Amino acid sequence: MAWRETFDAHWHEIANRDNERTRRMFRYYRSVCAGALRARNLQLWQVVYSLGRPGRYDAPR
């Protein structure tokens, strides 16, 4: 993946402020995101809770 190659190529520029653990966590997070995008397995849920308002909620768009 291009983002990983770019990240690894430029890691030395930020290595002095971040440690190896941060690098591994970032790569893992981005890999999971890339896998979900490739699998088209993403969902977004938006839930609105309201207190004491009967009826439905019309979301402004």
Residues 27-54 pLDDT 10s:
999 899 889 888 988 888 888 777 766 7
In 3D, which of 20, 27, 32 has the Cα closest to residue 6?
A: 27
State the catalytic residues. Answer: 33
DSSP string covering 1-61: -HHHHHHHHHHHHHTTTS-HHHHHHHHHHHHHHHHHHHHT----------SS--S------
Q: What is the mean pLDDT of residues 53-61?
A: 74
The reply to whether the predicted model has a pTM over 0.75 is: no
Q: Please report, as a single letter, which amino acid is at residue 26.
A: F
Alpha-carbon gap, residue 20 to 29, rounded angstroms: 14
